[in-house]
Copies of this chain bind each other. A is one copy, B any other.
Amino acid sequence: MTRPHLLRQVTVIGCGLIGTSIALDLTRAGIAVRLTDRDPAAVAQAAARGAGTPLTLLDRAADLVVVAVPPSAVADTVYEAQARGLGRAFTDVAGTKGLIAEEAELRGCDLRGYVPGHPMAGRETSGPAAAEPGMFAGRPWILCPGPCVPPEAEAAVRELVRLCGAEPRTMSPEAHDEAVATVSHTPQLVAAALAAQLADTAPEVLALAGGGLRDTTRIAASDAGLWTDILGHNAEAVAARVDRVAADLALLAEELRNGGSTGSVTVGALLLRGNLGRAALTGATGSRNPGDAPSRARV
């Protein structure tokens, strides 16, 4: 990894899973990282993990401020950080982009210094204890720079992406939100709806479960508060997709109840479409995803 040129000091606001993981990568790259969070315990925990040192009033303006807070808090946090002169360039890591861009403009953020971003990696666990260096290595990191962002601000954020080992991709906020509705937000809600059915299932029944149920529900362990915020920020795009899944499932249930050859045709056709969709996914993600080796599932 080549030495950073633009980033010598970075401030990370929000010491959760993503913020702390970014801070760990930057610290290891030799960057001076300052940490802050509305929860002092999170700062202490991240600092103890070697992610940086607590931000103080004496710190000079950072080369870049990474705002790693939930979507609904991004615009306010960017505004206040800019008002306090905490840095020269700003980015965020939230999982939605369109509504935040509108909020940032309405709030009066300086859009010339703000390059919205979204590193496409994470975990179903949360908090600084779950953070790890290298979390973003090889993953896409979407950037949505507005029309008035100067080259030096975008370059600073691109250096952040590079130092985390991720691959920058530029998209419009709208294209981002449509894409993540498909590949992230809808699977999140579907996994949650599936796992929700298990809450009142007898343990001796759950004990029979294998890899199939385990994998389909893994992300249902994710932070409910954070995800309520994310989904509310991308409501239309998610709702349209969730409606399609719900309609398919309702039709399948109906046809299964009717039985006979019509039911088989409907069920078989959906399963074949599922085969096609899964093949499209593995084809598009290719060998970049090491977890695709066949593993044990339920038959």
Show the binding face of A for B, using Cβ within 8 Å. Answer: 17-18, 95, 120-125, 130, 135, 139-140, 142, 169, 178-180, 182-184, 186-199, 201, 203-222, 224-228, 231-232, 235-236, 238-250, 252-254, 256-257, 259, 263-264, 267-268, 270-285, 289, 291-292, 294-299
Instruction: State whether B249 touches A232 (Cβ < 8 A).
Output: no
**When the two chains form the complex, which single residue of B231, B242, B296 contacts A121, counting CB atoms closer than 8 Å?**
B296
**Pairs across A and B, CB under 8 Å, 16 listed:** A120-B208, A120-B210, A183-B298, A187-B212, A190-B190, A191-B216, A198-B281, A216-B219, A220-B274, A220-B278, A228-B264, A235-B259, A242-B256, A246-B247, A246-B250, A291-B295
Contacts of A17 in B (CB 8 A): 299
Instruction: State whether A215 touches B213 (Cβ < 8 A).
Output: no
A171 to chain B, nearest CB (A): 9
Contacts of A95 in B (CB 8 A): 299
Closest residue on chain B to residue A207 by CB atoms: B284
Closest residue on chain B to residue A124 by CB atoms: B297
Tell me the bound Cα distance from A86 to B239 in angstroms. 56
Instruction: State whether A206 touches B285 (Cβ < 8 A).
Output: yes
Tell me the bound Cα distance from A192 to B279 in angstroms. 12
Tell me the bound Cα distance from A278 to B195 in angstroms. 6
Known: A201-B182, A213-B183. A297 touches B252 (CB 8 A): no
Known: A190-B249, A224-B268. A207 touches B285 (CB 8 A): yes
